[in-house]
């Protein structure tokens, strides 16, 4: 029996080929009438001021970091959930403590105001 991952590889090749082909055809057959106004970045009809490589709200970084923390912990629950039926109360108590520690961090983050978007 071949690996079940081979069809995924085949599909990746087919889909990537399809995507590239459509984008290529679209770029070739589309009309071409360029002008400097058309190629300028959109800014509600006025001449663009500066460029978009500026600074943005630190909240986005915060969300990013919190996501990494909680997502790793959420993914850690998966293998536990799959074998849970054979773990009985021991598995429950261990994971209960784990989630309790996690929730302590969560409450701390909430109290610190990291979850409030407008401050």
Residues numbered 60-99 forming contacts with other proteins, rule: CB under 8 A: 60, 63-64, 66-67, 70-71, 74-75, 77-78, 81-85, 87-89, 91-92, 95-96, 99
Please give the Cα distance from 37 to 57 (Å, whole number).
30
Contacts of 40 (CB under 8 A, 6+ apart): 47, 48
Under the binding rule (CB under 8 A), the answer on residue 41 touching other proteins is yes
DSSP 30: S
> Judged by CB under 8 A, which of 46, 47, 111, 117 binds other proteins?
117
If binding is defined by CB under 8 A, does position 7 make contact with other proteins?
A: yes
C-alpha 26, offset from chain centre: 28
Sign of CA dihedral 41, 46, 47, 52: negative
The site for other proteins, by CB under 8 A, has a size of 72
- Phi/psi for 113 (5° steps) reads 85, 15
Q: Taking CB under 8 A as the rule, does residue 16 contact other proteins?
A: yes
Q: Does 12 bind other proteins (CB under 8 A)?
A: yes
Q: Report, in Å, the least distance between residue 92 CB and other proteins.
A: 4
- Shortest Å distance, C-beta 3 to other proteins: 9
Question: Which positions from 21 to 40 touch other proteins by CB under 8 A, shown as an x/- string?
Answer: -xx-xxx-xxxxx--x-xxx
Expressed in angstroms, the distance from the first to the final Cα of the chain is 58
């Amino acid at each position: 029996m071949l690996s079940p991952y081979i069809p995924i590889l085949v599909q990746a090749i087919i889909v990537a080929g399809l995507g590239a082909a459509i984008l290529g055809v679209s770029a070739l057959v589309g009309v071409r009438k360029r002008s400097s106004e058309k190629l300028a970045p959109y800014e509600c009809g006025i001449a663009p001021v500066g460029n978009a490589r500026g600074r943005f709200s630190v909240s986005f970084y915060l969300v990013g970091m919190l996501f990494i923390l909680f997502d790793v912990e959420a993914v850690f629950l998966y293998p536990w959930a799959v074998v849970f039926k054979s773990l009985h109360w021991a598995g429950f108590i261990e994971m209960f403590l784990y989630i309790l520690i996690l929730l302590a961090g969560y409450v701390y983050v909430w109290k610190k105001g990291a979850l409030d978007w407008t401050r």
